[in-house]
Amino acid sequence: MHRMTIDRSELLRLLLNLIRFGTIAEIDHDAQHVRVKVGKNTTTWRPWITARAGETQIWCPPSLGEQVILLSPEGDFNKAAVLPAVYSDKFKTPSTNPAHHTIRYMDGTVVQYDSSSHTLTATLSDGTSVTLAPGKVTSNAEDTICTGNLTVEKNLTVNGFAALNAGMNVKAGKAGGAAAMIQGIMQATVDVIASGISLVKHPHGGVKKGGDDTEGPK
């Protein structure tokens, strides 16, 4: 009976190569393959492992220099798959709080959910914008605060009471017509001024005793 023999040093090498740590040396995003530097060696092009790759897909490629784990069946790097990732001195963790689920992107943007305070936060780098399309966005928060300027390009509908604490400037639209229309009673606690004429303090001329009407305001 023929017996297959293998050198002990070769067997040890294969066993050691089953699971190895390495860093990403090259990336082919189109092919979804990377080359990994393991010690003094660099692997051939190998696929990296993602969280989902079926009917649901997740795209989050590794970065150059990122520390990964090389899983090599039979100790053969040519059959390996690359498992991201392990924190390193080059790429540190964005949080150490166990209540945080945090993602930090390459431009400095951080998206974080804090399960202890039930708070979702997106801290965007300068120049980054947020776009939600198409359809409708609904916020059920009890209070929403905007600390910067807010521009509404189309119509604004407020079904509840609106309180403006720092004044209001209303201009007619490009089509002309009234700048503001009020259906109901308008109340002013101080005064109403139209074309420089005070509703409260304007004088009336031609006043006579009896049933005559006054002249218009001047």
Report all structural domains of the chain as residue ranges with CATH numbers, in order of start. Answer: 8-83 (2.40.50.230), 93-127 (no CATH)
Contact indicator for 178, 172 with CB cutoff of 8 Å: yes
> Residue 36: its pLDDT value, please?
98
How many CB atoms sit inside 10 A of residue 24's CB? 21
Residues 6+ apart with CB under 8 A from 140: none
> Residue 199: its pLDDT value, please?
86
Strands 110-114, 41-42: pairing is unpaired
> Residue 51: its pLDDT value, please?
94
> Residue 82: its pLDDT value, please?
98
> Residue 7: its pLDDT value, please?
84
Using DSSP's 3-state secondary structure scheme, residue 75 falls into helix
The pTM assigned to this predicted structure is: 0.68
The per-residue pLDDT string of the chain (218 residues; one tens digit each, 9 = 90 and over) reads 556 566 888 889 889 999 999 999 999 999 999 999 999 999 999 999 999 999 999 999 999 999 999 999 999 999 999 999 999 999 999 999 999 999 999 988 999 999 998 888 888 887 667 777 777 888 877 888 888 899 998 889 999 999 999 888 988 888 778 888 889 998 889 998 888 888 888 776 666 666 665 655 55
Query: How far, in Å, are 51, 94, 118 from residue 62 at the CA level?
Result: 13, 16, 30
> Residue 4: its pLDDT value, please?
59
Handedness of CA 19, 21, 22, 28 (dihedral sign): positive
> Residue 49: its pLDDT value, please?
97
Using DSSP's 3-state secondary structure scheme, residue 10 falls into helix
Q: Determine if the peptide bond prior to 188 is cis (ω within 30°).
A: no
Contact indicator for 72, 80 with CB cutoff of 8 Å: yes
